[in-house]
Chain A
Amino acid sequence: MSDTTLSEGGPVPVPSAPPAETRATRLRHFWDDYRRAPMAVAALGLVVLMLLLSFGAPLVAPQDPYDMAALDYADAFLRPGETGSGGYVHLLGTDNAGRDMLSAILYGLKTSFVIGLSAGALALALGISVGLTAAYFGSRVEALLMRVVDLQLSMPAILLALVLVAVLGQGVAQIVLALVVAQYAYFARTTHGAATAERRKDYIEAARSTPLPTHRVLLRHLLPNVMPPLIVVATVQVASAIALEATLSFLGVGLPLTEPSLGSLISNGFKYIHTDRTWLSIYPGVALMVTVVAINLVGDQVRTVLDPRNSR
């Protein structure tokens, strides 16, 4: 048998990832499908705008909320539209420390994005590793890994994250770690499901019969074909990581107010909920809600486009 397949002596041609030009056309087809839903296009635009504004915050924001020297207690609790000692208009008012709310929200949005994106990316990497390992090796390894994943999925992410943050302590790195542990299981389950379906197909059998190393078969041949469902899960999980971080900060176990994320800003505003200083909690809350809903809308549309049942 082996003399027929390996008779040429050279590398065996194995189906691999499509060349670059078809990838570009595929992307164009994807975009053509995506833009059929005007809501989803608007949501995508909003997400891009928020990303630009938040990461460009040092250029856009009137004030650096981390710079304690720039804060003046005389400016505390200015209403939206009032002019403070800095000589500029506080469009969204100021908080109890005289911090400009618009600046704090933009910086906070950046913190939320950094946490959401890095937690999402790391959870994706960990989930893919666990899911692919389980699907490829099967038997005992598979049973053990997926049992752990299933158990974790049956527990709410918020509870897991809460406990982990309580154990690990406060800080950006700790929160990201807690979110990764709380969320990787979703990626692992999705990867495993898609990969077990792909594993039985001929091209994987063909690749396995060649002398290619295992990791190459997994990463170059199996992974590209399980990516579509993972992209959908990743979008939703980034939104959910941002919401989880905000919840943790709101509960007082996340980030402190000196390092404002949207959650800690809302939590600070919550103290004044019985006064008429509603701008302290409403504006950061709206920013959080718009971000999370917009990312979810994008994810929903990506799911619709990638769903093979909806293809033309």
Chain B
Amino acid sequence: MTGFLLQRLMQAAAVIVAMSVIVFTGVFAIGNPIDVLIDPGADQAIRAKLIAQYGLDQPLWRQYFAFVGNVVRGDLGTSMVYNVPVVDLVFSRLPATLELVLVSVTIAAGIGIPAGIWAGYHPGSLSARAIMALSVLGFSVPTFWIGMLLIMTFAVQLGWLPSGGRGDLGQLLWFETSLATADGWSHVIMPAINLSLFKMGLMIRLSRAGMVEAMRTDYVRFARAQGLPDHQIVTRHVLRNISIPLVTVFGLELGSTLAFAVVTESVFNWPGVGKLIIDSILQLDRPVMVSYLVMVVVLFVLINLVVDLIYARLDPRVRLKGGA
């Protein structure tokens, strides 16, 4: 297990280094940020001073090592637009995104898994086909368009819910969150549903596939022969067996929900990290872009690593194959 762990850790580190180089050089290729920053009327002396201040006169590799050195010290640079340290900027936006993701993932799992199990238990029935048709819609219709339809229906036409922004904040345990106030909930529910639809489609498909597969197996047949009622077979035996892939995908999808939040946050004007990255791309705010992307890469590598390790823990075959 130690060898396996070491090997995976090294791989993860290599990936992070490679990706940070790619991201850094890639982002460097975009325009000259100094043109955006400096008033075109500024004279050469001010220009040169600012260029030196941001280190833009240095060769690319030196800028990269300066960046890495700063990152190791916990300094991701200063936003060129907001003039605030990037770390502070991202962390001030993170709670909004996290609460959005949390609510949407809960909705996706809470509706998607039972619906998928139902569809897998009664395959071919009318309700099952309706559920599957809905999952295709959630899968294929672009998120931003559904978001717009939600706004048009519930905010503009019916006027039930606000069309965007984050509501009043309240204190919940140690956190300042909009989930503590009614106004906050009225703001979060529509974007959360919007963000959950893709994931819900995925959960429906996965749990249905697992269910159909499991109901054909011998242990279900034996349990039936034993005279166990179906609801007991499903809750006691089948559910336990199909939960492993569900949990895995659930974990992996947490990361991609953060990415999809980019779209939902733009539609609903939600002041989270996703909105921040779009704004920084449009404004060429290079330090924010690079730091956000490196953070996303680190997040994905960590999630992959954890999933790999959990697998290795659960299934010795993975451990032996990977360690060899």
Contacts and interface: CB of A to CB of B under 8 A. Distances in A.
Q: Is the interface on chain A under 10, 10 to 19, 20 to 34, or 35 or more residues?
A: 35 or more
Interface string B124-165: 000000000000110111111100110110001000000100
A154 B255 CA distance: 9
B259 A156 contact: yes
Given A154-B304, A274-B163, A281 B148 contact: yes
Interface string A226-258: 000000000000011001001100111100000
Contacts of A162: 262, 277-278, 281
Contacts of B289: 166
B282 interface: yes
A252 B260 CA distance: 16
B263 to A, nearest CB: 6
A293 B26 contact: no
B156 A247 contact: no
B304 A273 contact: no
A251 B140 contact: no
A249 to B, nearest CB: 10
Contacts of B29: 167
Contacts of B252: 154
A203 interface: no
A247 B263 contact: yes
A155 interface: yes
A270 B148 contact: yes
B276 to A, nearest CB: 13
Contacts of A252: 278, 282
Residue among B148, B278, B282 having the largest count of chain A Cβ atoms under 10 Å: B148
Contacts of B111: none
B293 interface: yes
Contact of A158 (B148, B259, B282): B259
Interface string B261-294: 0110011000000000110011000000100010
A251 B263 contact: yes
Interface in A266-290: 266, 270, 273-274, 278, 281-282, 285, 288-289
B254 to A, nearest CB: 12
A296 interface: yes
Contact of A292 (B140, B149, B263, B278): B140
Given A154-B304, A163-B26, A293 B141 contact: yes
A243 B300 contact: no
B232 interface: no
Given A266-B145, A278-B152, A288-B145, A166 B136 contact: no
Contacts of B277: 162
Contact of A266 (B26, B136, B148, B163): B148
B212 to A, nearest CB: 12
A156 B293 CA distance: 13
A159 interface: yes
B106 interface: no
12 contacts: A151-B300, A154-B300, A155-B296, A155-B300, A166-B27, A167-B29, A246-B144, A246-B145, A253-B281, A273-B148, A273-B163, A293-B140
Given A156-B260, A273-B148, 9 more contacts: A155-B256, A155-B296, A159-B296, A166-B27, A250-B142, A251-B144, A253-B282, A274-B156, A296-B139
